[in-house]
């Protein structure tokens, strides 16, 4: 996940300093208020409901006061500007010194594009400018299968904010996280039957689905009973209820299975070193037989997106150890070094079914790249080339939002606006005057 404690750093540069009493917090998208004594931020985790909450946090004490139900918050020209899960943008008068609302919220825009957990795609300036990406919300997202005949949109009967799509091992089914009513659940689309079936019905959040190698079960992350995200699994045909597979002190989510289904890679937020430190995602290998975890990567860097090679020998993953996200490969047994696969940035790796290619993303607007690799006599990259253009929705450290078909001739990805809508940005000038006119009746 991209959330965590809050830190401050001088504008001139320096060592980040933790904001007191936020070490157990889950904050994202901080916005510094005038005076630099407090920030606005979205609160994730057990303290937030499915629609999200936004708060003002004192930088000296870490005290957080919830302001509203929203998915993202900013401040400009005397107003809080907040996005909602349905793509609406709200403005509400706000007293910076008292850190209090001073009037009612009004809806100033709708049709604002949303990303990830319904985060509004907009920006405001202190001079009265507002820019946003038009879209109409998460319903504009679509699942797309790219094959030899070109891209085909999956006809979902239930749509919404999409994350984590994955082919079943036989390629006949697709599982995805779909947020239809503020609560993400897992749905399975059957290519033969052309049907869409709800799998998960419990939990506040259900996310990051991962098929077992035999296609019989799906492991996934879930938030239940106000706790932190843990790993559950459930029969893919819905014949049983979800069972807890792995519990961790903090946030954890599944990565990928070993080919024999005996072990599952996991990502968990952990703290390292004496006296604590900044928590970061580590990668471990959970053995089902004894429920033990062997930590493969546990450093102060963020390591995530663990993908086991088809032969079970190698582990591809994303790490920011160099200062930016790159894709690396190392032996699953922990021997040998770490080989960098991407060059100039990369994340969200996937293996080709024959293990000769590591695909990875570089940015939202750039093509998926294909790194040709050799594993005889060690692991090495022999070339890089563009694979295809298509994915334009990624979710940071969480789910890998695209997949490779089991035959290697299809790709699955999330498209914004299906296959036809172009990205459109709209600039609104002097929006505070518009808001004042709406509230005054003039």
The DSSP result for 228-240, as a single string, is --EEEEEETTS-S
320 and 355 inside one domain: yes
Q: Are residues 165 and 106 in the same domain?
A: no
H or E stretch including 434?
Answer: helix 431-440
Residue 385 shares a structural domain with residue 255: yes
Res. 46: pLDDT tops 50: no
One domain for residues 181 and 314: yes
pLDDT at 22 (0 to 100): 82
- Statement to judge: residues 298 and 432 lie in one domain: no
User: Which of 119-128, 248-257, 269-278 is least confident?
Assistant: 269-278
Specify the higher pLDDT residue, 135 or 346: 346
Q: How many domains are contained in the chain?
A: 2
Which residues are CB-neighbours of 229 under 8 A, at least 6 positions away?
A: 1, 205, 207, 221, 222, 223, 251, 252, 253
Question: Which residues make Cβ contacts (< 8 Å) with residue 117, sequence separation at least 6?
Answer: 44, 52, 71, 161, 179, 184
Choose the weakest-confidence range: 245-249, 301-305, 378-382, 416-420.
416-420
Q: Which of 202-211, 258-267, 378-387 has the lowest mean pLDDT?
A: 202-211
The range of the structural domain enclosing residue 200 comes to 138-416
Q: Are residues 260 and 334 in the same domain?
A: yes
**Among all chains, which residue has been given the structure tokens 């209090």?**
100
pLDDT per residue as tens digits for the range 189-245: 999 999 999 999 888 889 999 999 999 999 999 998 878 899 999 999 999 999 999
Verify that 44 and 149 share a domain, yes or no. Answer: no
What are the tens digits of pLDDT across the range 155-172?
Answer: 988 877 889 999 999 999
Calculate the alpha carbon distances from 331 to 9, 302, 317, 334 in Å.
37, 19, 11, 5
Same domain, 113 and 174: no
Q: Residue 25 pLDDT > 90, yes or no?
A: no
pLDDT of residue 420: 47
């Amino acid at each position: 996940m991209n959330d965590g404690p809050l830190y401050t750093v001088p504008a001139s540069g320096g060592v980040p300093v933790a904001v007191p009493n936020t070490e157990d917090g889950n904050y994202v998208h901080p916005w510094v208020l005038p005076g630099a004594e407090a920030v606005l931020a979205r609160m994730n985790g057990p303290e937030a409901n499915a629609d999200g909450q936004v708060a003002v946090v004192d930088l000296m004490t870490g005290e957080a006061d919830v302001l509203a139900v929203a998915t993202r918050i900013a401040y400009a020209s005397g107003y809080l500007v907040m996005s909602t899960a349905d793509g609406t943008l709200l403005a509400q008068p706000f007293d910076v010194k008292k850190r209090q609302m001073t009037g009612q919220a009004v809806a100033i825009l709708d049709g604002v594009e949303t990303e990830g957990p319904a985060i509004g795609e907009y920006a405001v300036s202190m001079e009265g400018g507002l820019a946003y990406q038009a879209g109409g919300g998460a319903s504009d997202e679509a699942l797309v299968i790219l094959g030899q005949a070109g891209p085909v949109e999956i006809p979902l009967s239930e749509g919404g904010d999409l994350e984590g799509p994955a082919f079943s091992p036989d390629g006949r089914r697709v599982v995805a996280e779909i947020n239809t009513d503020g609560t993400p659940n897992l749905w399975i689309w059957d290519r033969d039957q052309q049907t869409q079936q709800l799998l998960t019905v419990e939990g506040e959040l259900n996310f990051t689905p991962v098929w077992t190698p035999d296609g019989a079960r799906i492991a996934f992350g879930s938030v239940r009973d106000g706790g932190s995200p843990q790993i559950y699994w459930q029969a893919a045909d819905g014949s049983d209820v979800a069972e807890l597979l792995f519990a961790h002190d903090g946030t954890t989510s599944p990565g990928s299975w070993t080919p024999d289904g005996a072990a599952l890679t996991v990502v968990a937020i952990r703290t390292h070193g004496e006296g604590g430190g900044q928590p970061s995602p580590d990668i471990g290998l959970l053995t089902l037989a004894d429920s033990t975890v062997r930590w493969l990567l546990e450093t102060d860097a963020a390591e995530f997106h663990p993908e086991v090679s088809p032969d079970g020998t190698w582990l591809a993953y994303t790490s920011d150890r160099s200062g930016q996200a790159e894709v690396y490969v190392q032996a699953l047994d922990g021997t040998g070094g770490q080989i960098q696969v991407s060059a100039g940035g990369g994340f969200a790796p996937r293996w080709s079914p024959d293990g000769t290619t590591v695909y990875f993303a570089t940015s939202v607007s750039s093509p998926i790249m294909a790194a040709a690799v050799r594993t005889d006599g060690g692991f090495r990259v022999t070339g890089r080339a563009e694979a295809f253009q298509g994915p334009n929705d990624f979710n940071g450290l969480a789910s890998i939002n695209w997949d490779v078909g089991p035959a290697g001739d299809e790709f699955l990805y999330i498209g914004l606006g299906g296959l036809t809508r172009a990205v459109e940005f709209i600039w609104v000038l002097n929006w505070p005057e518009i808001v004042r006119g709406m509230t005054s009746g003039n």
